[in-house]
Structure 1
Amino acid sequence: MSEENQEPEKSEESTKTKFTFKCTRVDTCCMGRGPIPITFWDLELWAKNGVVANFMPYLDIYQKPDGGIDLILKPLPPPPKEEEEKEKTDKDPFEAVPIEALLDVKCPMYNVNDKKCLIYENRPLSCRTYPLEFDGKNYIVVDADCPGLGEEGMSKEDLIEMRSTAKNMHFELTRMRIALPVLNQVVSSNFMKMMMKQQMDAMSKMSDDDKGKLDEIFKKQEQEPEHDHNHD
């Protein structure tokens, strides 16, 4: 092959944008991550390190706009600016709110005053690969404004590791999204069965007199609509 034929190939290669990244540990990303998906990998890590209890208050099931569900670190709503706004801001941020509206909500594990992650050694897989993601075919930069992009100091080994982490995140998230609907349904079903059993146990321990009073209450409630109709 002649040099003339090789030259365009070199020129094309030189125009490609080189991905370089180094986390600067600033609050830009952590203050606006929104819901952070959690995987089995994360749960296994936390169980191994004995820190699951630290995450429990912030774990929640989030139903995405596309109908799927994720186990997530639930973002904390911003503090009310005025007293009259307190009732509004204290509402569950996930209630009928699309995920796009939560992208500017801070991670609950980020300390604003100290400007640091409280769980850095146990941070979720999603945080370890951010802002690089893998969609099953291609690597994608999901946050072009991340301060760490373009920072020098990323070795070839670092890049390989980050790509591997992104692939692992894709695999683990897919695994979680397959299992979570089934687990959620089983847990909900078992919870309902437990509640019904508790009610049946409570009924079995009631005295005949108490059962009679309860029956009277039910009969009265059933008769009230008909009574009101006849009265009118």
Structure 2
Amino acid sequence: MERRWVATIDLETLEVEYDPTFKFKCLENCGRCCHELEIPVRDEDITEIEGLGYNAWEFVDYDKMFYRGDKFLSYALKKRPFDGACVFLDPETKRCKIYPHRPLACRLYPFVFVKSGKKMEVYVKMDPFCPGLNHPDGEPVTGEFLLRDYGDVIGEYRGKIVKATE
């Protein structure tokens, strides 16, 4: 997987350095990532989705596992057997049935956040199937973009820095 640096956030000041040549726009009703990717589903994601009335056996693929080295991280979301898409992708509308409650990996895609000291580096996965990468109607990955779309994730990492300095 090729990835490209698009921004760095100072977690103390929220100042952002970004690559103005890259733009992104998630295209409505695309759903290609829902077909192409294996999505890790964390315990927190499972609890959130179960709160919607689903049973974990309906959406967790216990045969697919994600590891970092020898450390188990999570299982994957199930795919439908008839088209290989995520079980939550509506086949008619191509929209996620649980969009406000989708797993963190879905919310972050195509971005990868890497904490490095008191900074957070933001990379984008340059997956050839994603039509939103460098889309002409896209927007650069500015501080405004990052705080609007990923403010909760950034806030969580900022909180860890504050606790570490106390």
TM-score by length of 2: 0.58
Distance 1:132 1:74, change over 3 A: same
* Alpha-carbon distance, 1:163 to partner: 5.0
- Greater Rg over alpha carbons, structure: 1
Higher helix share: 1
The residue aligned with 2:105 is 126
Matched, 1:28 2:32: yes
CA deviation map 1:85-118 (0-9, x unaligned): xxxxxxxxxxxxxxxxxxxx42121122332222
* Alpha-carbon distance, 1:41 to partner: 3.8
Q: What amino acid maps onto 1:53 in structure 2?
A: Y
CA deviation map 1:121-171 (0-9, x unaligned): 22111111110011334322124432222343547422334454565799x
Equivalent in 50, 53, 65 of residue 63 of structure 1:
65
Mapped to 2, the partners of 1:164 and 1:18 lie a distance apart of 22
Distance 1:141 1:168, change over 3 A: farther
Give me the identity figure in percent. Answer: 28
Equivalent in 128, 133, 143 of residue 149 of structure 1:
133
Mapped to 1, the partners of 2:22 and 2:113 lie a distance apart of 14
CA deviation map 1:157-202 (0-9, x unaligned): 22334454565799xxxxxxxxxxxxxxxxxxxxxxxxxxxxxxxx
- Deviating more after overlay: 145-154 vs 23-32: 145-154
- Structure possessing the higher relative contact order (Cα contacts under 8 Å, 6 or more residues apart): 2
Q: How many residues align?
A: 127
Higher strand share: 2
Q: What amino acid maps onto 2:104 in structure 1?
A: L
1:121 partner SS: helix
**Root mean square deviation of aligned Cα:** 3.2
Unaligned runs of 5+ in 1: 1-15, 80-104, 171-232
Distance 1:119 1:162, change over 3 A: same
